[in-house]
Every structure is written in C-alpha cells, then in structure tokens.
Amino acid sequence: MNDLIRRLLGRPAGKSGNDAKQRLKVLLVHDEIDLPPAKMEMMKAEILEVVARYVTIDEDAVTFRLHKDDHRGVALVSNLPVRRVAARA
C-alpha cells in the first residue's frame, strides 16, 4: 500500500536505462584501449597546454572524447575551437 501511495504521489522520472547504456559505451571504449578516464583527463590537460603555446583556445567549448565506430575501431575525437592566433614571441 505504501508503494501504491508513493506511486500516486509521483515517482522520480525513469529512463535510467539510457544512462546505463551511455555509461557502458564510454566504459567499454576506455577498457578497450586501457586508458582510464582519469588518465585521459591528464592527457587532455597536456594536449591543451601544448596547443595553447601556439593558439588561444576557447577552453569552455573544448570537447575531448573517445569514439567507437561500427567497425570496432576507437578514435580520439577532439574539437579545440581557436579564439585567435597567439602573438608570436
């Protein structure tokens, strides 16, 4: 009966199945190339540091993720929007 009342009062929105699927996809790609998410963050920071020596990047708009395509290939897909070319020293 408590369960019925809880349901009548409205339960939290469902759809956690899709969360599971997205988490799983990310996890499997990281497992496949043996690069845990924390290490990828380190790599991302280092890459940004190098790129920033040459151009100014819009850091809020940077995307950096592993993508797995249908042929079971993994690619590192990144978008580093450039604000302006840094003045040459």
The contact set with other proteins (CB under 8 A) reads 1, 3-4, 7, 14-18, 20-21, 23-25, 27-28, 31, 72
Q: Are 74 and 66 in contact (CB under 8 A)?
A: yes
Tell me the three state secondary structure of residue 87. Answer: coil
Pick between residue 17 and residue 73 the one whose CB is nearest to other proteins: 17
Pick between residue 16 and residue 63 the one whose CB is nearest to other proteins: 16
CA atoms of 33 and 87, how far apart (whole Å) = 37
Pick between residue 53 and residue 73 the one whose CB is nearest to other proteins: 73
Name the minimum Å distance from CB 86 to other proteins. 42
Name the nearest CA neighbour of 73 among 23, 32, 36, 22: 32
